[in-house]
Structure formats: structure tokens, C-alpha cells
Amino acid sequence: MFEKVLIANRGEIAIRIIQACRELGVTPVAIYSDTDENAKHVRLADEAYNVGGSVARKSYLDGETIIDTAERADAGAIHPGYGFLAENADFARAVEESECTWVGPPSDIMEQFGEKTQARNLMAETGVPIVPGTTDSIESADAVREFGDEHGFPVAIKAAGGGGGRGMRVVERDDDIDSEFEEARQEAEAYFSNPDVYVERFLDDPKHIEVQVLADEHGNVRHLGERDCSTQRRQQKLIEETPSPALDDEQRAALCETARQGVAEAGYVNAGTVEFLYQDGEYYFIEVNARIQVEHTVSEAVTGIDIVKWQLRIAAGEELDFDQSAVEPRDAAIEFRINAEDPSEGFEPMPGTIESYRPPRGIGIRVDDGVDEGDDIAPFYDSMFGKFVVTGQTREEAIERSKRALDETTIEGVPTTIPFHQQVLGDEQFRRAEHSTTYVEEQLDLE
């Protein structure tokens, strides 16, 4: 195992990795921007180094400075967390070529899965069902028109170089194709430095279900069950839960084994998430997230397996020491992303100072956060500053416990998404598990 690990991130995920390092006897090394000099992750680390200015591109996205800092700190490995450089294959390759070990999938695997058309082809070759669509990037709006004429509208134009809803446009009719094609390409270039897009059938009322996997360098691949991430807005996840209330045991087993076998045949290594859309009893592959996910916590809650520690252990060359039969998810878990946003104002980020902060306590409640009372929510980074993960023996118990946890929470100084979460928990469509990815925008009144 490594003696030191540099954490190329900030906030709650940096703290999550610090905790895993401590439990493995590894010294955690933090980095920080000018704005984050007194941030919680800096206060908790054994060592911390400034890597540049407040804007992310001058600090947390400055791969060369981060690698130089890791070598200066004599760190044996770099863990990227999620976001920032976590899915940047060029950065991963630079780490591999340095004196440090990359904690994540190898750069060539990241490259394959990072380009969405390559990923679709790769998974289709292993027998994983994919949404009908083009297997190569398209060059013109006419290609979208031809696809729509053949498969019907609506269709989705998607960025080939990334996901998360960025660079995606849904085309409802032929008249919109030219403008939507150009806007998708422009946004794809802005977010992923790659203007390539592809087109696929648009599922109008799907569930978003993903499978957590772990794979070591010795050919062992395990899945840790599935997560339902259907409560989202503009393809941005807001609430995640496991198990998915949409699946029965037979469907669950088939989906998870499909994901496990697909990444095994693709030669995947380390932690990853295989994402699917599920509609009318059928599931379709959409992408592999080659990193730790925000919502990994719900999988940990029901399996008892520490995914972040296994990321580090796999990177150090260790072999998974449990069989698939030993993974027996129990109970139900729900994760709530706590963002400094105002749901009534279109989820507008609202940076500021946390004047009062009392997170929930009690049985079945886990709090992963990146702030303490008196800390600032900076305007330069993502507005999510914490996550509440609530576990119950059943989904119904987890929902009732979640209501209690959110009611007991006090956060003053910035608006948060807690009122939104409370509204969802009280909504009958959510409680009956009849919601889909369109639920928040089409069914809820957030004003």
C-alpha cells in the first residue's frame, strides 16, 4: 500500500478519500486553491499544498502543477475523486508516466469509455443492449434528419466526448434539427473540447438505473448492485436510491450481471458505474462512468463494502478478496444531494457563508459533507457541499426516516435543496415509485 496519496480534489469527496486513507494507514495529502486555503478538507489533511488561483482552471484543473505537487510531496499515488480531472484520460496518462500511481481505470480504458460512440460499440460487442442510434459521430444535421425519418421523433443529439446532460439536445420535430445540431456541437466543444456528437432514439419516460462495479488487475470483477437515479433535473441527479423500486429480483439479477460481464470482457479495472435507461421492461446501456460516483455511498450503505478503500487497494495491485456470492445487499438507502441552490429559482446556485449548520443525527443516517458552520460556499465550484444518506430496512422506512432527518436539519446563511427533497418525499408519485427522469420537470410545482 502507498505511504502517501495526494487527493486531486476538494470538498466532501476529498474528505471521503482522506477518511479512507486514514483507515488504511496512508497519509492523505490535500491540495487547495487560493479560495480554499482554510477549507475543511485542508484542515483535515495531514499535509496541504496550494496549487493556484480560485478559478478551477488555474488550480484543480491544472494537471501539470498537481503532478509536480504530488512528486514534491513524495506521494505514491494521486486520487482524482470525481469531477475536475477525474475522467481526463490525458491527465491519467500523465500521472501514469510520472513517479505516481493513478487511482482509477488505466488511461487507455478511460479513453475508450470516455468517447461515447466508442463505448457504445465496445459494450454492444460484449452483448450489452444499447439504445438504437448511430455508432459513429455524425457530421451534419442531415444525418439527424435521416435517423429521425427512420426511427421517428423525438431523437437525442448527444456529445460524444462526455455526459451528464452536457452537449445534449432533444429534437421533437424536423424543423428544429439544424439549430439543435449546432447548439449540441457548440456545447460539446465548450464542455469537453470535442464537438463530435451522435444521435440516438430518445426514450421519453425512462428510469435511470446504474450498476456499481469493482474490478482488479487480476481479472476479478464484481458488481455491488444497482442504484436508481431517476429523480433528476436536466440530466443532473438529485436523489439516488438502492435497490431500484422499478425492478424485480429477476430483472435486477439480469441487469447487474449484464453490467458485470460487459466491463469484464472490456478489460475494465478499478471502480466504475455502468449506466442504463430502463423503460417498458427493457434496459439499454448509455455510458460507463470511469471513476467514483457521487452516489457511491448508497451502495456502501447496503453492502458494507468501502468502495473508496478498494479503489486504493486495487491501484496498489491488491486482489478483490470476496466472491460475487458474498455481495448481499440488505436494507434500502436513499441519498440526498445538499446543494447551495434555490429550487424555486430554477435551482440557481447561491454562494455565501453558512451561518448555522446542524446536520441530522441518529440511526441509519450518514452525513458526507465538505463544510462546517462558518465556512463559505464559493462561487467558483459546484454548489453541492454535502450528502445525506439514509438507510432503512425497507424503502418505506428509509423514506420516513429521511423525512425526520431533513426536518431536523438546520442550515442558515444560504438556501439549500432541502425544501425540494421534502417536497419529493411527500409526493405520492415518488412514494409509489412511479417517477421517471422527467418527473421533476413535468410533475412537480417548485414555485
Residue 442 CA to residue 437 CA, distance in Å, equals 9
Quick one: cell of 355?
Answer: 451561518
Output the pLDDT for position 41.
Answer: 98
- 239 and 334 in contact (C-beta within 8 Å)? yes
Residue for cell digits 487547495? 32
For the chain, give every domain's residue range: 4-103, 132-201, 207-443
| Per-residue confidence (pLDDT) for residue 447, from 0 to 100 | 64
Across residues 97-118, what is the average pLDDT?
A: 93
User: Structurally, what CATH architecture does the domain formed by 207-443 represent?
Assistant: 2-Layer Sandwich (3.30)
pLDDT at 390 over 80: yes
- Helical residues (DSSP H) of 271-322, grouped into ranges: 296-303, 307-315
- One of 3.30.750.24, 3.40.50.300, 3.30.1490.20, 3.40.50.1220 is the CATH number of 132-201, namely 3.30.1490.20
Cell numbers for 167: 452537449
Instruction: Determine the pLDDT at residue 203.
Output: 86
Mean pLDDT of 343-371: 96
Q: What pLDDT is recorded for position 191?
A: 81
Q: What is the predicted pLDDT for the residue at 441?
A: 85
pTM above 0.85, yes or no: yes
Distance between CA atoms of residues 209 and 275, nearest Å: 6
Q: Is a pLDDT exceeding 80 seen at residue 59?
A: yes
Yes or no: say if 222 and 236 are a contact pair by the CB < 8 Å rule.
no
Higher pLDDT, 134 or 369: 369
* 296 CB-near residues (< 8 Å, 6+ apart): 212, 271, 307, 308
For residue 225, give the 3-state DSSP assignment: strand
DSSP notation for 376-392: EE-TTS-SEEEEEEEEE
Query: 3-state SS of 60-94?
Result: CCCHHHHHHHHHHCCCCEEECCCCCCCCCHHHHHH
Q: Average of pLDDT values for 345-355?
A: 94
Q: Quickly state the pLDDT bin for 166 (edges 50, 70, 90).
A: confident
The pLDDT value recorded for residue 136 is 83
β-bridge pairing 236-242 and 332-339: antiparallel
Q: How confident is the model at residue 204 (pLDDT cuts 50, 70, 90)?
A: confident
Q: What is the mean pLDDT of residues 307-315?
A: 98
pLDDT, average across residues 22-46:
98
d(CA 116, CA 135): 9
Q: What is the CATH number of domain 4-103?
A: 3.40.50.20
Q: How confident is the model at residue 400 (pLDDT cuts 50, 70, 90)?
A: very high
User: What mean pLDDT is reported for the chain?
Assistant: 94
For residue 114, give the H/E element and its range: helix 107-114
Q: What is the pLDDT of residue 192?
A: 82
pLDDT reported for residue 354: 97
In the predicted model, is pLDDT for residue 164 greater than 70? no
246 pLDDT more than 80 = yes
- Mean pLDDT within 244-262: 96
> What residue ranges in 146-245 does DSSP mark as E strands?
155-159, 169-171, 197-201, 207-215, 221-233, 236-242
